[in-house]
């Protein structure tokens, strides 16, 4: 018998005509790994929350959900809490208590198990998830990746049969995200726990899934195995054509036959059998001779006795370019950005903005933080924008550029995540900066909005604005950025145009580059590969 059965489920929010979930029926067997994908706002989260009645939002609901043959309405709260685990998007906000061990125990404290059982289970979870080393730490001191693993562990400690995860990796850097997905895969394989996962980053998630549900406008439009899904890609909605793993995208664009490749390895096998050119030729990019930012031998540390965060760092960023700073966590990327904006001052070294000292040059530098909510101060988006720039013309123009014209009268906190990001960008742009600093802007964006975002940046470049971005998103950088620099151990270890940067790297590079290595040289993006095969 299937573990979860949904029959003709429809749901609409109060005061809303449109159905958030539209007549969905599906069956999930015990031990399956289900990937649910769809663009943001298509009803994924609403559907997931219906599985957990404590979290189900208010609204009009029709149809039935059965869990182990019982209607979900009839399951006692205790069983629902215990058997269906739920992990949400933001790692920070799910943590309740101040200590790691207490957080692990929180769920089973609620289930009122006896002391020895609690002791055993927390110990067991801590060893399984590799938490022993920070078991006695404060939760506030953990990194984002550790926090999300803790959230996962403190759900698993209740021994759930089903684990529901709502975009759990959207706030993590790629390495932490991969580690997290690997752990979920391990739970699925070793414990047989059913996994229902929604994701924006499909590259890795596809390789773990047994079945992929594709959701669009409240409906499930496809329910196939990953490689089957890949084969049918042309009939899928637009977002999936952009977001699907590289191998699948290449397979479809080339019009391949046979089994659709999903992983990099399968992609390489497929590509080597096609007719293709061996070298991808590219035009040299030409950059302006004047430098927007010039750093010479910068040294920086936070404490007098602390260690150097940046040491002997020199960097030139040409005017009107889209420059990306890459690098692992804690290598000092954000610190570097703050040095450029003069929020922090180096203890040795020189900074020049357009050839002059920062204060003298008078060039406006604006930066967009990771948490965009921190920018909103007013009741409506319009008032918020007026705060930085009184010129109505300019506001109108910027609103059109960032596509927020319809949202101007709303409260900034009523907007969805993507809309908030756009509104924040508008506010930053209205400062009319000559240099724009972006701190991981693509975190949590869906593929379609990423493309929009890239267009906005391109149009800024035309308006004589230099864009400097910190990012972990290699695919995005390879596609849109002009120059890439890698920060390692407080210093720039490589700086080159994006094409050269990524084709030179072997591990720290895009999936396309890994697929094409040795088959088509210099190919960095899927477009490069497709171009070389089709000609």
Q: Can you give the binding site for other proteins, defined by CB under 8 A?
A: 52, 54-55, 77-78, 81-82, 85-86, 88, 90, 92-99, 101-102, 105-115, 118-119, 122, 136, 138-140, 151, 154-155, 158, 338, 341, 343, 364, 366-369, 371, 373-377, 388, 413, 427-428, 431, 437
Which C-beta is closer to other proteins: that of 247 or that of 438? 438
What are 235's two structure tokens?
């009939």
Which C-beta is closer to other proteins: that of 26 or that of 163? 163
CB of 347 to other proteins, least distance (A): 20
CB of 476 to other proteins, least distance (A): 21
Parallel, antiparallel, or unpaired: how do β-strands 33-37 and 435-439 relate? Answer: unpaired
CB of 151 to other proteins, least distance (A): 8
Which C-beta is closer to other proteins: that of 226 or that of 332? 332
CB of 117 to other proteins, least distance (A): 10
CB of 268 to other proteins, least distance (A): 41
Name the residue among 83, 75, 44 with its Cα closest to residue 165. 44
Which C-beta is closer to other proteins: that of 335 or that of 509? 335
Which C-beta is closer to other proteins: that of 96 or that of 279? 96
Residue the block writes with tokens 């042309």: 234
What are 27's two structure tokens?
């069956």
CB of 197 to other proteins, least distance (A): 16
Which C-beta is closer to other proteins: that of 233 or that of 467? 467
Parallel, antiparallel, or unpaired: how do β-strands 348-353 and 291-300 relate? Answer: antiparallel
CB of 228 to other proteins, least distance (A): 33
CB of 111 to other proteins, least distance (A): 6
Determine contact, residues 113/159, Cβ cutoff 8 Å. Answer: no
C-alpha–C-alpha distance, residues 181 and 195, integer Å: 11
C-alpha–C-alpha distance, residues 472 and 394, integer Å: 32
Which C-beta is closer to other proteins: that of 193 or that of 252? 193
C-alpha–C-alpha distance, residues 436 and 351, integer Å: 16
CB of 173 to other proteins, least distance (A): 18
Parallel, antiparallel, or unpaired: how do β-strands 84-87 and 162-166 relate? Answer: parallel
Residue 85 burial (CB < 10 Å; 0-12/13-18/19+)? buried
What lies within 8 Å, CB to CB, of 345 at 6+ separation is 339
The three-class DSSP label of residue 200 is coil
Rounded to the nearest 10°, the torsion over CA 443, 444, 450, 453 is: -70
Rounded to the nearest 10°, the torsion over CA 458, 463, 468, 470 is: -40
The three-class DSSP label of residue 291 is strand
Which C-beta is closer to other proteins: that of 118 or that of 181? 118
Which C-beta is closer to other proteins: that of 330 or that of 504? 330
Assign 3-class secondary structure to 429-483: HCCCCCEEEEECCCCCCCHHHHHHHHHHHHHHHHCCCEEEEECCCHHHHHHHCCE
Partners of residue 495 on adjacent β-strands: 485
């Amino acid at each position: 018998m299937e573990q979860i059965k949904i029959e003709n489920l429809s749901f609409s929010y109060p005061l809303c005509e449109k159905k958030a979930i539209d007549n969905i029926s599906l069956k999930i067997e015990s031990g399956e790994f289900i990937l649910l994908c769809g663009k943001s706002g298509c009803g994924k989260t609403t559907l997931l929350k219906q599985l957990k009645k404590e979290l189900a939002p208010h609204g009009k609901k029709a149809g039935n959900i059965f869990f182990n043959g019982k209607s979900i309405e009839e399951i006692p709260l205790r069983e629902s809490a215990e058997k269906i685990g739920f992990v949400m998007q933001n790692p920070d906000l799910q943590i309740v208590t101040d200590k790691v061990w207490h957080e692990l125990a929180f769920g089973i404290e609620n289930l009122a198990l006896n002391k020895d059982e609690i002791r055993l289970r927390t110990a067991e979870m801590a060893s399984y998830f590799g938490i022993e080393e920070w078991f006695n730490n404060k939760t506030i001191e953990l990194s984002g990746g550790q926090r999300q693993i803790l959230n996962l562990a403190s759900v698993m400690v209740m021994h759930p049969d089903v684990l529901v995860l709502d975009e759990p990796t959207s706030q993590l850097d790629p390495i932490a995200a991969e580690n997290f997905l690997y752990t979920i895969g391990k739970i699925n394989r070793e414990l047989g726990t059913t996994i229902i996962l929604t994701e924006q980053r499909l590259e890795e998630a596809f390789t773990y899934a047994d079945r992929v549900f594709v959701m669009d406008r409240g409906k499930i439009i496809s329910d196939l195995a990953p490689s089957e899904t890949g084969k049918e890609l042309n009939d899928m909605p637009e977002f999936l054509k952009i977001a699907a793993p590289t191998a699948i995208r290449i397979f479809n664009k080339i019009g391949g036959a046979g089994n659709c490749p999903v992983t990099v390895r399968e992609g390489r096998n497929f590509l080597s059998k096609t007719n293709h050119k061996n070298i991808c030729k590219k035009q040299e990019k030409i950059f302006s001779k004047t430098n927007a930012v010039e750093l010479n031998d910068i040294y920086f540390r936070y404490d007098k006795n602390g260690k150097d965060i940046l040491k002997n760092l020199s960097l030139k960023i040409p005017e009107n370019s889209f420059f990306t700073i890459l690098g692992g966590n804690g290598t000092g990327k954000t610190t570097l950005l703050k040095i450029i904006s003069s929020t922090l001052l180096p203890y040795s070294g020189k900074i020049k903005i357009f050839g002059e000292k920062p204060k003298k040059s008078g060039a406006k530098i604006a930066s967009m933080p990771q948490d965009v909510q921190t920018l909103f101060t007013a009741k409506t988006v319009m008032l918020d924008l007026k705060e930085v720039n009184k010129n109505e013309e300019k506001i109108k123009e910027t609103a059109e550029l960032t596509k927020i014209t319809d949202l101007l009268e709303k409260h900034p906190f009523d907007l969805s995540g993507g809309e908030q990001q756009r509104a924040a960008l508008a506010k930053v742009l209205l400062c009319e900066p000559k240099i724009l600093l972006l701190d991981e802007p693509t975190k949590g964006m869906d593929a379609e909005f990423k493309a929009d975002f890239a267009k906005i940046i391109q149009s800024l470049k035309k308006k004589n604005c230099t864009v400097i971005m910190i990012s972990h998103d290699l695919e995005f950088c390879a596609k849109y950025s002009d120059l890439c620099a890698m920060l390692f151990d407080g210093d720039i270890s490589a700086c080159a145009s994006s094409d050269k940067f990524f084709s030179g790297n072997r591990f720290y590079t895009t999936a396309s580059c890994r697929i094409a290595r040795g088959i088509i040289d210099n190919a960095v993006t899927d477009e490069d590969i497709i171009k070389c095969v089709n000609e």
